Amino acid sequence: MKFYRSHILIGIDDASLAAGVKEIEAILRSELQKNNLSEEINILETGTLGLFGTGVSLMVYPEQTAYVNLQKSDIAEIVEEHFLKGRPVHRLILDNTLVRKYDFNYKRRIVLNNSGVIDPENIDEYLGTGGYEAWEKALTSMQPEAVLQEVKASGLRGRGGAGFPAGLKWSFTAPIKAEQKYVVVNADEGEPGTFKDRLIMEGDPHKLLEGVMLCAYAIGASEGYIYIRGEYKLCISRLEKAIEQARDYGILGKNIFGSGFDLDIFIKIGAGAYVCGEETALIESMEGNRGTPRSKPPFPGVAGAWQMPTVVNNVETLANVPAIITNGAAWFAEHGVEGCTGTKVYTIMGDVRLPGLCEVDMGTTLRTIIQQYAGGMKEGKAFKAALVGGAAGVFLNDQRLDVKMDYNSLKEYAAVLGSGAILVMSHSADMVDMLWSVLRFFRHESCGKCIPCAKGTQLLYKLIDGIRKGKGKESDLDEMIRISNGMLKSSFCALGQSPCMPINSAITNFREDFLARIK
């Protein structure tokens, strides 16, 4: 391997592409060449660096200097000053106090440990970090049952919503005899405020593939499908490349590593419908139908894609599996809290200084996440509320800042943790407006299959719209709670069961905002 004096990491993701990263990268390369530095300084394209709202940014190692908001005209100066003369350009560096405050938490990361570090388009770099060791270990020295038991023992729970134990889910499908079984990855990621799965796929696509492989082996499936939303172009192209590379290396295909086990993985692309993230709707969509949910039972584990036994798991869930097989269940369970092991990836946005992502142990408090991993509140803004879990989430007030973020501590709000979205609001945000925006979302996304959800989402929007326009009554608040609780009991799928969470929490925790609009 060649030795470089410094490495410049360039985060290539949807956000930086939008900010013109490619042009800046080209200028950087030519400037390095001009100064005869190409042999000393390495440029590495990687996944997200974890900084958002900072335009084009670069990270320089080993110094760990983060340059942000770069313009084309800045590059020559950086090359000359920093790389030629060894003097970092302070005016372009991420505010030093922020850097100290900002904690990437790489030491504890499991799913994003490579993201922002390796080139996601090069399988050799993944292999260089110990990638596909778990896959080789499983195929050459473990029975499928042993893989399943390890995942079960780790306590890994689903990261897509409900937090169902992954090993238990697999154990329903594994013993079924069928001519075909499938692993389906849920990469539809439609929950507003959620983009953790995009970052995992963009930053380390091979890790997801390895997770799919291990799951397929454990349950005896010979095909895997990744159902991904159509807007995620970069994820799609990186996954396609990764699959190609894995096939070329014989990591996918027939008789892998001489084990007699066959597996291939395919990509399926969605067309924009939130409800398609529901696992049975997703399967309908994969088959080329309208994406409306099926009735359960039978569960997909028994009769899923093309009526064959199918395990559906979220991207983040599967991306945890390679580390579990490599390092063992006990190692995994050292992360997180009892009953809720491992780490969780969050996306934090809104009125914080450094919107972005973090991966931290389960059970970390909301306060720590905001203070330590998002740089705290924006200058001059005080915390008022956080919408945790996306539209199907809950509005928490400052009384809840010290609540531990794990499935058990948030049990009363069972489903909210999955998506990992944290939208932080300061006192300039009004909860009537925010709830209005949430209910407008549900009105639009209800698939219309069942009456309680189709009608209920319309009614709820009408009520909140009335309140927002100053035409509401105090009794409307009770009416909204009544309707959404009714939907919880009678809706066909979890979409219709969701609005009650934001509604109840907003009205209970921020009643004064609502009363202020009601005369």
Partner 1 sequence: MYKQIFGKYTPKKENLIYILHEIQDQHPEHYISAEAIKIVAEYLSISESHIQGVLTFYTMFSTKPRGRNIIRLCESPPCFLKGSEDILRQLRQLLEVKIGETTADGIFTLELCACLGVCGNAPVMMINEDVYGDLTEAKVESIIASYRGGK
Ligand X SMILES: Cc1cc2nc3c(=O)[nH]c(=O)nc-3n(C[C@H](O)[C@H](O)[C@H](O)COP(=O)(O)O)c2cc1C
In this structure, what token pair is assigned to residue 125?
């770099």
Query: Is position 192 an interface residue for ligand FES (rule: CB under 6 A)?
Result: yes
d(CA 32, CA 379): 37
Answer whether the bond into residue 88 is a cis peptide, omega within 30°. no
Query: Is position 244 an interface residue for partner 1 (rule: CB under 8 A)?
Result: no
Among the listed ranges 14-22, 105-113, 270-278, 453-461, the one in contact with ligand X (CB under 6 A) is: 270-278
Binds 57: which of ligand FES, ligand X, partner 1, none (CB < 5-8 Å by kind): none
Which one of 48, 115, 173, 186 is in contact with ligand X (CB under 6 A)? 186
- Helical (H) or strand (E) element with 184: strand 182-187
Which one of 11, 131, 270, 277 is in contact with ligand X (CB under 6 A)? 277
SS3 content of the chain, % helix, strand, coil (to 5): 45, 15, 35
Helix (H, G, I), strand (E, B) or coil at 83: helix
Closest residue to bound ligand FES by CB:
192
CB of 195 to ligand X, least distance (A): 11
Query: Is position 314 an interface residue for ligand X (rule: CB under 6 A)?
Result: yes
Query: Is position 56 an interface residue for partner 1 (rule: CB under 8 A)?
Result: no
Binds 314: which of ligand FES, ligand X, partner 1, none (CB < 5-8 Å by kind): ligand X
Beta carbons within 8 Å of 171's beta carbon, 6+ residues apart: 148, 152
CB of 307 to ligand FES, least distance (A): 35
Binds 277: which of partner 1, ligand FES, ligand X, none (CB < 5-8 Å by kind): ligand X
CB of 105 to ligand FES, least distance (A): 23
Q: Angle at which helices 500-509 and 431-445 pack, to 10 degrees?
A: 170
Which residues inside 490-519 make contact with ligand X, applying CB under 6 A?
Answer: 493-495
Beta carbons within 8 Å of 505's beta carbon, 6+ residues apart: 394, 395, 396, 413
Left if phi > 0, otherwise alpha if psi is -120 to 50, otherwise beta: which for 250?
A: left
Whether residue 437 contacts residue 447, with contact meaning beta carbons closer than 8 Å, is answered with no
Closer Cβ to partner 1, 58 or 201, answer by number: 201
Burial of residue 124, with CB atoms counted within 10 A of its CB: 0-12 exposed, 13-18 middle, 19 or more buried: exposed
CB of 1 to ligand X, least distance (A): 37
Whether residue 377 contacts residue 383, with contact meaning beta carbons closer than 8 Å, is answered with yes
- Helical (H) or strand (E) element with 388: strand 383-388
Closer Cβ to ligand X, 162 or 516, answer by number: 162
Residues that bind partner 1 (CB under 8 A): 14-15, 17-19, 52-53, 55, 189-195, 198, 229-233, 269-274, 285-292, 347, 349-350, 355-357, 387, 391, 421, 423, 425, 429, 433-434, 437-438, 440-441, 444-445, 447
Residues that bind ligand X (CB under 6 A): 158-162, 164, 186, 188-191, 274-275, 277-279, 312-314, 317, 493-495
Residues that bind ligand FES (CB under 6 A): 192-193
